Amino acid sequence: MNGAVKLSGRCGRCRISRSDKVAGSIHLVELEIRDCPVDLERPRPGQFFQVKCADGPEHILRRPLSVHGITQWDEPGHSLELLVEDVGWGTHRLCSLSVGSEVELLGPLGRGFEMPRAGKALLVAGGMGIAPLFFMAREMDHVDAGYDLVAGFKSGDCAYAPLACLKGGGVLCTEDGSAGEKGTAVGKAAGYMERSVYSMIYVCGPEAMMAEMSRLAEKADIPCQVSLVSRMACGIGVCRGCARPGRNGDNLCVCREGPVFDSTRVEWICVQ
Amino acid sequence: MNGAVKLSGRCGRCRISRSDKVAGSIHLVELEIRDCPVDLERPRPGQFFQVKCADGPEHILRRPLSVHGITQWDEPGHSLELLVEDVGWGTHRLCSLSVGSEVELLGPLGRGFEMPRAGKALLVAGGMGIAPLFFMAREMDHVDAGYDLVAGFKSGDCAYAPLACLKGGGVLCTEDGSAGEKGTAVGKAAGYMERSVYSMIYVCGPEAMMAEMSRLAEKADIPCQVSLVSRMACGIGVCRGCARPGRNGDNLCVCREGPVFDSTRVEWICVQ
Amino acid sequence: MVDLSIKLAGIDLKSPLVLASGTAGYGVELASICGYSGLGAVTLKSLTIMPRPGNRSPRVWETTGGMLNSIGLENAGVDAFLSDFLPQLNELGVPLIVSIAGETAGEYALLARRISGAPGSIVAIEVNVSCPNVEKGGLMFGAEPQASGAVTSAVVENTGLPVFTKLSASVFDIVRIAEAVAAAGASGLSLINTLPGMAINPVTGYPRLGTVSGGLSGPAIKPVAVKAVWDCYRATGLPVIGGGGVYNALDVVEFMRAGATAVSIGTATFQNPCRFEQIACELPDIMNRTGALRPADLVGSVKV
Amino acid sequence: MVDLSIKLAGIDLKSPLVLASGTAGYGVELASICGYSGLGAVTLKSLTIMPRPGNRSPRVWETTGGMLNSIGLENAGVDAFLSDFLPQLNELGVPLIVSIAGETAGEYALLARRISGAPGSIVAIEVNVSCPNVEKGGLMFGAEPQASGAVTSAVVENTGLPVFTKLSASVFDIVRIAEAVAAAGASGLSLINTLPGMAINPVTGYPRLGTVSGGLSGPAIKPVAVKAVWDCYRATGLPVIGGGGVYNALDVVEFMRAGATAVSIGTATFQNPCRFEQIACELPDIMNRTGALRPADLVGSVKV
Ligand SMILES: Cc1cc2nc3c(=O)[nH]c(=O)nc-3n(C[C@H](O)[C@H](O)[C@H](O)COP(=O)(O)OP(=O)(O)OC[C@H]3O[C@@H](n4cnc5c(N)ncnc54)[C@H](O)[C@@H]3O)c2cc1C
Ligand SMILES: Cc1cc2nc3c(=O)[nH]c(=O)nc-3n(C[C@H](O)[C@H](O)[C@H](O)COP(=O)(O)OP(=O)(O)OC[C@H]3O[C@@H](n4cnc5c(N)ncnc54)[C@H](O)[C@@H]3O)c2cc1C
Ligand SMILES: Cc1cc2nc3c(=O)[nH]c(=O)nc-3n(C[C@H](O)[C@H](O)[C@H](O)COP(=O)(O)O)c2cc1C
Ligand SMILES: Cc1cc2nc3c(=O)[nH]c(=O)nc-3n(C[C@H](O)[C@H](O)[C@H](O)COP(=O)(O)O)c2cc1C
Ligand code: FES
Ligand code: FES
């Protein structure tokens, strides 16, 4: 996996320059990096930020959120995009903040996806898994890498994947067929795998979906990188709160060694 | 003491229609009662509201704040004024709320000052003690009752008492002479007591100042009503958190039997 | 439609929500602000034989997510309660749990007899064992299994009412105490009382409470309370009135899943005296989301 | 000008601020984000003789004003620490407090010998007694005065370094345990470890932690910690590393007034890895407001 092996993330305070509800309970939050007092490193797809959703001693843990996009990183006025689903109090407070509010960020953290060296890649996103994979697709567009993106959602009202703005091929599907094609992300991806040759598969989504995609990829002998989710405290490798079992009896430290892992390292579990 | 003997206060949510810094760390916060879903009873001078300064389980106790003024209570568009000194997190959050924010109120609570039946009254305020006594003065203006108001502050930068808009006589004094006359509220009040005859004295301010004024009043044999401060939890008489010693070995339940008491009932203590 | 009624150690209550001792006064004050519909029972502030003036002021201090109190069991005494408050309460018609506190086992026995002889709405006795045991050099009764058991027996032998012993979670092994109380014949447990705590004004150096230390309550202690309920429920199987930091209907369901038959609301009442009414309104919806048809379906249902 | 330096059981530290065990890893990770200036010492995550994989995921859950964790002492083992981490740490130059955890008194003794033989920045040993005592049927060492004392002796007899025993506050009488530890020759106390707690997802019924219960830390527990520090300081007079819920410089002064010579920062590091630097910046100003010239002036200065 590529990315920040050394801890290079720093703490910064940024202004929200945009916050829109883009679907169901999904919000697109744009943060202005310009005013941030420290030079944040350019984030890579798959990396994340630890975001402080409220101030004060009463809110002690940050929330990990993937980078969904960056704009003009090397120019003044650059900004960071997060795609946030409102699922609990932390994400709810973040989504409720109005433009102009400030938010504390720590990052970019973790190791992101490794860019494919050659050939075509398959990107498979389930639900909010679209957040990092959309960023990945845009970065691949920059270097004219070939890919297909499958973005699956439960239904149309929680679907957000503006595929038209991407250069690569792609399909949006929903389990109930209420938007895009009817079907699951894994089902669609399996179809793509039958029709095309891929040199690499990238997956982010619910645990069961990633487990299934990994199985398909390993069977087809295609290298597969998965972005894991785990509840985090520190996000920087000091607390071991995010550790989950690896396939070789080892522990995977999701925040620091991950969140992106080669699928063969992962022991799939049922997270509650 | 006059006022709500029965618990008639109700819970309501009101919009802040004005919030201005009027001096030092003192803010004048105006709340629109119009939109409040329940009919709040007309508050009397000396009564208070329990104000929720922030939402959520992490902020469990309300803060007691005296009524500083009411406007057009019996007409639509009536509002409530609070005069709030930013001294800790609760008052700080309240003072930081912007116009349009909503605040939960419980009240009016407690027993207020008893209006004088005849003669001239002396109102002695120390620091934030001005909050209820200014309201008292305005209500006395309504019924053309005679009074003198002494408003004492530490110094000019934390002094707020727009006496000019009152009908009664009055003086603003500061301990360092940086605004109004130089001197303490008790000192000035003693001077007034030498020059005029008062049928009633009303006091609100720091413990030591109220203790001293009570002594002067009792010596001069003038009935004296004091508005006590005590840390509160419920504000409605159920927790006994606000109880403090009375002069007869009894307990004074500040939120429900008070906050206004006849000075002779109070045992003065050093509150930390 | 969710049916909120429960059976608590043989008592029929129309809701699992109970107001906690010391946070609802004698039960009459709140009745004038909120209706008592939606409520299963009110636990009254602990009564002692003689009236008690309580502790030195200040008596409360807010902490992160909670509060400290040192009320010191201020109360009018059992006789004044029976003559001055009980008649009014009987008119309200809400079931009452009477909490008692003594300094000797004999005092508990006496209080139990007095209470049991009283007419009306009293449905149970709660035994507050977080009191100094005067016969044992001031150590809290609730600190030891034997003392907790002895006090419980003293009450059980002197009343026909169901007896709930209310334990403190500030002990190493609450299960041993719960077992002693079960063996002594308690009908159920009430969990948890406040945790001992203290706060100091850093700038002036004065303690925030007049008595230096006090009891911590509120959402801050909820995880400790949930664990105590689960541990004691699993070990004894006794019906539990569970609480500590309950703030909303989700918390109520959390306590039920941990093993609480009824759930107590304490400090949250200070944030809003009508909080329990709001919780009663939210509860059916949350229960629906769990698939439970009645509170009993949820009791002890944590998936471990 | 305020001088922040302290003397802690004979050790000179340039600041009273100490990072708490388990919240600063092996001390090297944070160093790459924040400088270590302003810090007195880093307490490393508890080491065991053999490497430990730790507990089942999920291991953390946020609660009101705090968090639950069940890391389960995941660590690389003492040998890997000495060979892989200590050399890097010695280069950083920050004083180290090494926390050790065992399942028998013999394991503690062995750990103490290993640590004491190591060169470099190690200034003290912290004895984590919140571990199951395998010889005593899994009861936590820290639950009993005798076991706490025995473990402390085992360490003291096998090291020349100052020994701080770290107690749990989830016992009825922490003072008796502190006294036993003092009698066993501890140089000081570290207070407090997390409180046992549990949380359940009300809707699904699953516990929030993979191990069902865990330890509660953060601002929520501060009042319990302040009381433990004051009680133990007053009873034993031993130097105390105090903490539990420290969030800002006011909290640091509060713990000093309660009797802490040094103050530990744990969970707050998760809110901001550089929190201790911010606290170090705020501290002189707060101390000025109290009139204290050095931390020692504040220790135990609560006005009771
Ligand atoms: C590396 C990484 C990247 C992520 N990227 C995104 C993203 O781009 N967009 C997005 O919407 N979500 C993302 N998530 C998930 C997001 O972190 C959680 O939804 C969020 O933390 C929930 O917090 P809450 O307070 O809103 O919910 P809570 O009320 O705390 O809990 C709601 C649910 O979220 C789960 N949860 C709580 N905290 C965490 C946590 N720290 N990590 C994982 N799950 C948690 C709980 O188990 C619970 O089921 C990412 C998670 C990780 C680990
Ligand atoms: C009946 C009554 C009427 C009041 N009217 C006004 C008013 O009109 N305007 C105004 O500015 N202030 C008024 N006060 C004081 C006001 O309630 C406190 O300043 C406020 O509660 C402090 O809360 P905080 O969170 O800002 O401060 P904290 O950080 O909690 O504490 C700061 C200081 O305020 C004291 N304090 C905290 N809580 C309370 C409490 N509930 N009651 C009393 N003191 C407390 C503390 O001891 C501490 O010294 C009144 C108090 C009472 C009892
Ligand atoms: C102000 C106050 C007074 C209390 N008084 C009593 C009491 O008299 N008897 C008792 O058994 N518990 C008493 N308690 C404890 C509560 O009944 C309850 O067990 C505890 O506060 C935890 O629940 P909570 O977090 O919901 O408040 C009191 C609590 C508070 C906050
Ligand atoms: C994630 C986590 C891991 C911890 N690991 C240890 C440990 O290994 N050894 C130990 O003695 N204490 C451990 N603790 C306890 C802390 O050192 C500290 O005593 C406790 O969290 C209270 O302080 P705080 O509220 O500042 O975090 C841990 C705490 C947390 C939150
Ligand atoms: S979240 Fe702390 S080590 Fe990963
Ligand atoms: S504040 Fe609760 S009785 Fe007065």
Domain regions of chain C by residue span: 6-297
Q: Which residue, among D23, B242, B194, has the nearest Cα to C58 in the 3D structure?
A: B242
Q: Measure the CA–CA gap between C217 and C61, rounded to whole angstroms.
A: 11
For residue D29, give Cα distances in angstroms to A7, A49, B248, D194: 7, 17, 63, 23
Pocket test for ligand 6, best of B51, B239, B252, B260 (most atoms within 8 A of CB): B239
Nearest Cβ partner for B269 among C23, C57, C59: C57
Q: Give me C44's structure tokens.
A: 């009254």
DSSP state of B41: P
Taking a C-beta distance cutoff of 8 angstroms, is the pair C250, C240 a contact?
A: no
Three-class SS of residue C187? Answer: coil
The position carrying tokens 């003036």 is C53
Q: Give alpha helix (H) positions in chain B.
A: 89-96, 130-142, 185-195, 207-220
Pairing verdict, β B224-227 and B200-204: parallel
Contact (CB<8Å) A251/D54: yes
What is the number of the ligand closest to the CA of D48? 4
DSSP state of C251: H
- pLDDT digit string, tens, across residues B58-102: 889 999 999 999 887 777 668 899 999 999 989 999 999 889 888
Pocket test for ligand 6, best of B231, B232, B261 (most atoms within 8 A of CB): B232
- pLDDT digit string, tens, across residues B173-197: 999 989 889 999 999 999 999 999 9
D292-302 as b/e: b if 16+ CB within 10 A: beebbebbbbb
Domains and CATH numbers, chain A: 10-109 (2.40.30.10)
Measured in Å, residue A9 CA sits from the centre of ligand 5 at 14
Q: Measure the CA–CA gap between B151 and B164, rounded to whole angstroms.
A: 13
SS (H, E, C) chain A: CEECCCCCCEEEEEEEEEEEEEECCEEEEEEECCCCCCCCCCCCCCCEEEEECCCCCCCCCCEEEECCEEECCCCCCCEEEEEEECCCHHHHHHHHCCCCCEEEEEEEECEECCCCCCCCEEEEEEHHHHHHHHHHHHHHHHCCCCEEEEEEECCHHHCCCCHHHCCCEEEEEECCCCCCEECCHHHHHHHHHHHCCCCEEEEECCHHHHHHHHHHHHHCCCCEEEECCCCCCCCCCCCCCCCEEECCCCEECCCCCCEEEEHHHECCCCCC
Model confidence at A63, in pLDDT bands (50, 70, 90)?
very high
Which chain B residues touch C if contact means CB-CB below 8 Å? 6-11, 52, 57-62, 90, 104, 106, 230-245, 249, 251, 256, 269, 271-272
Measured in Å, residue D156 CA sits from the centre of ligand 1 at 45
Q: Give me C108's structure tokens.
A: 């508990």
Q: Give me D293's structure tokens.
A: 């010239």
Identify the residue whose C-alpha is closest to ligand 2 atom 29. B88
Measured in Å, residue B63 CA sits from the centre of ligand 2 at 6
Contact (CB<8Å) B7/C32: yes
Which residues in B72-210 belong to E strands, given as ranges?
79-85, 102-109, 111-112, 121-126, 147-153, 169-174, 181-182, 200-204
The position carrying tokens 């990990």 is A64
**Arithmetic mean of pLDDT over chain B:** 89
Write the class of the CATH domain D6-297. alpha beta
Sheet containing strand D66-69, strands side by side:
D60-63, D66-69, D213-217, D195-198
ipTM: 0.94
- pLDDT digit string, tens, across residues A92-150: 999 998 898 889 989 899 999 999 888 999 999 999 999 999 999 999 998 989 999 99
Taking a C-beta distance cutoff of 8 angstroms, is the pair A163, A137 a contact?
A: no
Q: Which residue, among C207, C116, C120, has the nearest Cα to C155 in the 3D structure?
A: C116
Chunk chain D into consecutive blocks of 10 residues (it has 304) and report each block's average pLDDT, rounded to whole numbers: 91 97 89 83 95 93 96 94 92 94 94 92 95 71 91 96 94 92 97 96 96 95 98 97 97 98 97 91 95 96 96
What string of pLDDT tens digits covers the 304 residues of chain C? 679 999 999 999 999 999 999 999 888 888 878 878 889 999 999 999 999 999 999 999 999 999 999 999 999 999 999 999 999 999 988 999 999 999 999 999 999 999 998 878 999 999 999 877 667 666 788 888 999 999 999 999 999 999 999 998 888 889 999 999 999 999 999 999 999 999 999 999 999 999 999 999 999 999 999 999 999 999 999 999 999 999 999 999 999 999 999 999 999 999 999 899 999 999 999 999 999 999 999 999 999 9
Nearest Cβ partner for A60 among D33, D62, D71: D62
Nearest Cβ partner for A237 among D25, D59, D201: D25
Radius of gyration of chain A (CA): 18
Question: Cα(first)–Cα(last) distance of chain B, in Å?
Answer: 27
What are the residues whose beta carbons fall under 8 Å from the beta carbon of B195, sequence distance 6 or more? Answer: none
pLDDT value at residue B38 = 59
pLDDT value at residue A55 = 82
Q: Is C264 exposed, middle or buried (0-12, 13-18, 19+ CB in 10 A)?
A: buried
Which residues in D64-204 belong to E strands, given as ranges?
66-69, 96-100, 122-128, 163-167, 188-191, 195-198
Report the C-alpha dihedral over residues D158, D160, D161, D164, rounded to 10 degrees. Answer: 50
Classify the C-alpha dihedral A103-A107-A109-A114 as positive or negative: positive
D interface test, pick of C64, C70, C289 with most D CB neighbours within 10 Å? C64
Residue D64: list chain B partners with CB under 8 A: 57-58
Q: Measure the CA–CA gap between A125 and A137, rounded to whole angstroms.
A: 11
Identify the residue whose C-alpha is closest to ligand 2 atom 53. B229
Contact (CB<8Å) D61/A231: yes
Q: Is B269 exposed, middle or buried (0-12, 13-18, 19+ CB in 10 A)?
A: middle
Radius of gyration of chain B (CA): 18
